[in-house]
Amino acid sequence: MSGLVSPPVLGHLALVGAATEVPLVTGDHTRYKNLDYAASTPALVAVADAVNQFLPHYSSVHRGAGYKSQLSTAAYEGARAAVHAFFDARPDDCVVFVRNTTDAMNLLAESVPAGTSVVAFASEHHANLLPWQKVGSVRYLPAPASAGEAVEVLEAHLRTRRTDLVAVTGISNVTGEVWPVAELTSLAHAYGARLVLDAAQLAPHLPVSIGDLGVDYLAASGHKMYAPFGVGVLIGRPDWLARGAPYMRGGGAVDFVTTDEVLWTALPDRQEAGSPNVLGAVAMGVAAETLRRYGMARVAEDERRLGAYARQRLGAISAVEMYRLWPESADRIGLVTFNVAGFDHSLLAAILSAEYGIGVRHGCFCAHPLMLTLLRITDLQAQDVRDDLRVGRRARVPGAVRLSLGVGSSADDIDALADAIASIVHTGPRWNYALDEGTGDYLPAPDPRSAPPFRFLLSWARPGGGESS
Question: What residues are annotated to the active site?
Answer: 366
Query: What number of CA atoms fall less than 13 Å from residue 452's CA on the CB side?
Result: 7
195's CB contacts (< 8 A; 6+ apart) are 165, 166, 167, 168, 184, 185, 188, 189, 214, 215, 216, 217
- Collapsing DSSP to helix, strand or coil, 108 comes out as helix
Kindly list the distances between the CA atom of residue 310 and the CA atoms of 12, 280, 419, 438, in Å, as whole numbers in the listed order.
18, 33, 12, 33
> What CA–CA distance (Å, rounded) separates 108 from 128?
11
Find, among 313, 319, 408, 311, the residue nearest to 359 by Cα. 408
Do residues 249 and 44 lie in contact, with contact meaning Cβ atoms separated by under 8 Å?
no
Do residues 401 and 360 lie in contact, with contact meaning Cβ atoms separated by under 8 Å?
yes
CA-only gyration radius of the chain, Å: 23
The strand pairing partners of 171, in sequence order, are 178
Query: How far is C-alpha 303 from the geometric centre of its chain's CA atoms?
Result: 17
- Collapsing DSSP to helix, strand or coil, 458 comes out as coil
Kindly list the distances between the CA atom of residue 324 and the CA atoms of 178, 193, 430, in Å, as whole numbers in the listed order.
12, 29, 31
Task: Tell how strand 194-198 and strand 165-169 pair up.
Answer: parallel
